[in-house]
Structure formats: structure tokens, C-alpha cells
Amino acid sequence: MPLVKQPVTGMKDITPKEMEIREYCIRLIQDTYRSFGFVSMETPCVEHLENLGSKQGGENEKLIFKILKRGEKLRLSEAKEERDITDGGLRYDLTVPLARYYSAHANELPSPFKALQMGNVWRADRPQKGRFRQFMQCDIDILGEASNVAEIELILATTTLIGKLGFTDFTVRINDRKLLKAMAAYSGFPEDSFDSIFIILDKMDKIGIEGVRKEMIENEMDSESVSKYLSLFESIYLGVDCIGELKEKLGAYLPEGTAESLINIITIVEGNSSAKFKMQFDPTLVRGMSYYTGSIFEIGVGEFASSIGGGGRYDEMIGKFTGQKTPACGFSIGFERIIMLLLEKDFEVPATVGKTAYLLEKGISTEKLNEIFGIAKAQRESGKQISILVMKKNKKFQKEQLEEQGFTEIKDFYKDNLSY
């Protein structure tokens, strides 16, 4: 069987140019989030299958890369069910592993715990632009904080980062799962139909309100309830005042404090952000993950149709490990999508140190070779990046390649003379 040059479908090789941008972004992410008090931690890429399949990961649970048991535990000939041959899987996100980590280490951690976690995740998804089967996620989470201080900190930290990456035309949309449920209950839908309603509602930006109406009727939802439900959206405008108006309409269906919390988050973030963006209440925002219990948010940029980040409150997930309810809220940026957009913009990593290349002719004497390595040693110790290369026949093309790599000085070292 011949060897294959291309990476596995849904995976990708990373060029030096992209790697430089990725490493720059990782450093900027770490520095920015640490300035907000977040601390780094890490979980294994392999997770217990019972955790990954705990009905907390939504559609992602259908996309798990499962791992065969190892050694003596793998007995294919005796297997009757899948669980006889598999016991682990590659994590599809960082949130479920974080919940397991916190439940095991809560007594050793500060409260609230402000976690920063970066790492690859895997989903057996259909690859498309900006979506891979292996990709890096970058999450910040605040565990143990029940107030909306958590949401405010998460949004401020993330928007500060997105602004530092050079994005100005972006919008943070915010909603609350409690508000979504209240609107459905007010309209007369039974609670067991809420998830189906939200799946259709999530298509509002693609098919419009009449498309949503048609699909709900096709799914045999009560026409009177559908009309009452969609009438709420016909009078909605994307502003803070609309939250108060919805509160008045929904009355006792909406849990106390939900509307006020949303208004406070929007007002405080707008008044204290160092980035330029729009903060927008959007009652059609759903977020697909089933574990969200309260506020939810998403970031969109003008030049890209999909979101580049999202998150929300998930107060019930950790309790499934510990038996005790623990408030939790997180925000994840779409690292791969951000890198893709930066590459499309021909983004250049800001120069922090000088980059010099020395070109050597073949046959250089040992004495001269020792001299140039001594010069390079001194310059590297002073913080510069130095590359020593043998000169190619096409010196002009070689210099062009080095300039593309960011080398600002390219010096020729001849057999008897160093010009610098």
C-alpha cells in the first residue's frame, strides 16, 4: 500500500507562516486573560466515554472519536456490544473535562476559580471552511460565582482580546435560556417541546419569521401557540429597552431578576470595555449546547457568517459529578476561525526582536565559521533571532524567501570578509 502525502480528512498541516501567527495569538490570549485574573490549567485529551456521553454535549455526542480498549482488555472476538471494546474517547470540547476536573479538585482550588484552558479537541464532523475534525479551543470559565459578575468579566476579557487581535467590526449578542423558556411557556407550548422549538427558532436568521412559522406548523405544533409565540418576535427590536417590555408581557413566566441581570450585563460591559464593538440583545439566540441554564452569548464579525466565539452559564453540569449545584459560566473563542480570518487579511506578527540571517559561501574556513557562530551567540544572548544559512546559487530568491519569513537584515559572509 503506497504512503499518503495528504493529512487525514478534516485535519491539516500547519505552515511556518501560520504557526508564527498561532504562537503570537496564544501568547496574546494568555497575557490578556491573565490580566483579568484567569489561571492556566489542563485536562487530558482522552476522556471517559460515560462523561462524553452524559447528554450534556448536545449534537457533539454523536461526533465522538472513540478509542478501543488496550492490551488484554481488548477482546474483539468476545465483544457483543460497543462498550465491550471501547472505554474512552477524544474530548469534543473543553467544558465537560473542566467540570470533571473541578469536581475532583474543588477543595484545592480558590473560589471562585477562574480557569484558562487551551487545547485541541476532536469531532467527527463534516469538514468545511473554518471547521475541522481536529481544532484548538480556547476557553475561560468562572466556577463558583453565581452573580452576573462572572458574565461581565468573561465578556470584557474576551472582547478585550478580540480588539487586541485587530477586530473592530464585531458584535456580542446576548440572551438568556430562562427568557427563551418563558416565551415558549407564555405561548402555551408544553415544556417537553421546548428543545424542538429552539432548534427551529435558531434558524430565524436564515429562513426568517415566516420560515420559522412554516416549519413549526409542519412539525405539528399548535397553530394558536405558534402565532402567539411569533407575535412576541414581531414586536421585538434589538435594544436594552426591549428586555423590560418583554418582562412586562411575560409576567410570572419569567423568573425574577432575569431581565434585570441581562440589562445590567449589557450596560456595565458597554461602559467598561476597552474594545470597539456592539453589545446586542437578541431573543433568537439559542446556542446549541443543552447544558446552558442561563445567560448565553456569541461573537460575530462582519466579514464571516459564523460566530467566532460563544458561551454562557451552565449551573447544573458540575452537580452531575458532585451531587451539589455549582454555579459556572464560560466563554470560548473560535481559535481556528480567528486564525483563518487573520491569514485572509495577510496579518503580520508585530516585530518584537530583530531577525538577522547570515549567508555563508560554501568552503568557508573553520576560523571564519567559528567567528560567525561567535557573533551569532552574542546577538542571540541579547535577544535577537539569528539564522545561519549556506548561500544558495539563486541568492536573490533565497533573500526573498527570508524577507517573507520576517528577516529584516540579511548579511553576506564571504570567504575572507564579513560585511555587517
Please state the domain extents for the chain. 16-344, 355-413
Read off the C-alpha cell for 295: 445567560
Among the listed residues 362, 290, 376, 370, the one whose alpha carbon sits nearest the alpha carbon of residue 59:
290
Q: What is the enclosing helix (H) or strand (E) of 411?
A: strand 409-413
| C-alpha cell of residue 21 | 501567527
Arithmetic mean of pLDDT, 242-265: 93
Name the band, by pLDDT with cuts 50, 70 and 90, for residue 342.
very high
Q: What is the pLDDT of residues 173-204, one digit of tens each?
A: 999 999 999 999 999 999 989 988 998 998 88
CB 360 within 8 A of CB 391: yes
The Cα 124–Cα 136 span in angstroms is 15
The whole-number pLDDT of residue 408 equals: 81
Say how far apart CA 360 and CA 364 lie, in whole Å.
7
Per-residue model confidence (pLDDT) at position 28: 95
Q: Which CATH class is domain 16-344?
A: alpha beta
The number of beta carbons lying within 10 Å of the beta carbon of residue 52 is 23
Round to whole Å and give the CA distance between 262 and 258: 6
Given this model, what pLDDT does residue 237 score? 62
Q: Measure CA 241 to chain center.
A: 30
How far apart CA 328 and CA 102 sit, in angstroms, is 11
Distance, in Å, from the CA atom of 415 to the CA atom of 405, rounded to the nearest integer, reads 26
d(CA 376, CA 355): 11
What are the φ and ψ backbone dihedral angles of 412, each rounded to 5 degrees?
A: -95, 130
- Judge whether residue 391 has pLDDT over 90: no
Say if strands 86-90 and 66-68 run parallel, antiparallel, or are unpaired.
antiparallel
Three-state DSSP class for residue 355: strand
Longest CA span, the chain: 92
Confidence bin at 75 (pLDDT 50/70/90): low
Which pLDDT score, from 0 to 100, does residue 94 have? 95
Residue 151, Cβ neighbours under 10 Å: how many? 29
Mean pLDDT along residues 33-43: 95
Confidence of residue 55 (pLDDT cuts 50, 70, 90): confident
Q: How confident is the model over 147-165, as a mean pLDDT?
A: 94
Name which of 307, 295, 309, 291 is nearest 95 in CA terms: 291
Enter the C-alpha cell of residue 364.
568557508
> Cα dihedral sign for 343, 348, 354, 358?
positive
356: its cell numbers: 538577522
d(CA 408, CA 371) in angstroms, rounded, equals 22
Q: Are strands 86-90 and 355-360 parallel, antiparallel or unpaired?
A: unpaired
Res 73 pLDDT > 80: no
Q: How confident is the model at residue 371 (pLDDT cuts 50, 70, 90)?
A: confident
Side chain identity at 6, as an amino acid letter? Q
Other beta carbons within 10 angstroms of residue 73's beta carbon come to: 10
Phi, psi torsion values for 328, nearest 5 degrees? -155, 140
The pLDDT of 243-269, averaged and rounded, is 93
Q: Which long-range contacts (CB under 8 A, 24 or more apart) does 399-402 make?
A: 402/357
Average pLDDT along the chain: 87
Closest to 372 (Cα-Cα) out of 420, 308, 303: 420
Specify the pLDDT at position 77: 59
